[in-house]
Amino acid sequence: MKELLVISGKGGTGKTSIVGAFAVLADSKVLADCDVDAADLHLLLDPTVRTTNEFWAGKQAVLDPAKCICSSMRCECGVCAEVCRFGAINGGGSMSVRGIGSVDNASLPKIDSVSCEGCGVCARACPHGAISMEDVMSGHWFVSDTAYGPMVHARLGAAQENSGKLVTEVRREARSIAEGQGLEYIITDGPPGIGCPVISSMSGVDLALIVSEPTVSGVHDMKRVIELAHHFGVKAAVCINKYDLDEVSAGQIEEYCQSEGVEVAGKIPFDEEVVGALVRGVPVVAHDGRGVGIARAGADGADRSGPAGFAGRTEGKAARAMRQLWARVVDCLKG
């Protein structure tokens, strides 16, 4: 079993489109969407959710009005508000009160559940023990079926921080499915950047495919991700998406990769057919006659052709490049 992570230094480089193409081209795999802050692989693959699981992480301040002196006195001691550096207390918003829910009492401190970072300073500072830190349900993770195989994905709750723990849950379940079904690949759509979610996605993978684009920010952010991969000893390869929009910058990417010992596994040209495929909600390599043929040749015999009406189309240049990219990625994983 080999684990492939597709990431980028910045958002919008096209990594989800590439993962969608790999979903069609790989026969024996489980898909994972670890970009839990802004998950969108499900928009392309249209999964049917099989199981839904709660994800609990972090803490939130909760007020016990029976212990707060402000519930019996028309005054406020103000200690909790003074120590909150995030302005989450007496800063407006709803107040979370244990066992009661929302309480409208001007004499009680108000804890804004959105602004609260769960640091716990207010609970430690309260002289009457009126504030406690309680677990928060931060989101959900799902096990789903797609036309191209099983998929594990997640959705983070509003204003919830992604420390990487939810990413770990998604990866753990994807690995469990791959081992249980004897699948050959885990193909992961990773988050952008170099923060904790990326580190959680990258640790222990067999190959990190870094998707870049020929722009100033694209080149800069790609370099940071390559440095991160080197730091953790993860084998990396680069794909230059829409390389023909600026071939000078694309050349700079290739020169940098050569100097760092990183292979440029593929170069994908700009192709409006990609936009058309996304609008129709189907991976670009399944958007034409050849894509339908390869999709139907899957190991499980499932009809993976996507929406009807694409037979006979001429394969676009981006789709051809993605096929070549997948072939090279397979070689890198085997090597």
**Which are the contacts of 281, defined by CB distance < 8 A and separation ≥ 6?**
43, 44, 46, 306, 307
CA distance 156 to 141: 8
Rounded distance between C-alpha atoms, residue 33 and residue 29, angstroms: 13
pTM here is 0.83
Which whole-number Å values give the CA distances from 314 to 271, 273, 294, 319, in the listed order? Answer: 13, 10, 14, 10
- Alpha carbon of 214 to those of 151, 192, 225, 236: distances in Å? 31, 16, 15, 18
pLDDT of res. 158: 77
Domains of the chain: 2-46+147-334 (3.40.50.300), 58-137 (3.30.70.20)
The distance from CA 280 to its chain's CA centroid, rounded to whole angstroms, is 22
pLDDT digits (tens, 9 = 90+) for 139-187: 999 999 999 999 999 998 877 777 789 999 999 999 999 999 999 999 9
2-8 vs 236-241, strand pairing mode? unpaired
Q: What is the rounded CA–CA span in Å between residue 193 and residue 283? A: 24
With a cut of 50, list the residues of the chain below it in pLDDT. 91-105, 289-312
- What is the predicted pLDDT for the residue at 312? 44
- Residue 160 confidence (pLDDT): 78
Question: For residue 107, what pLDDT is reported?
Answer: 67
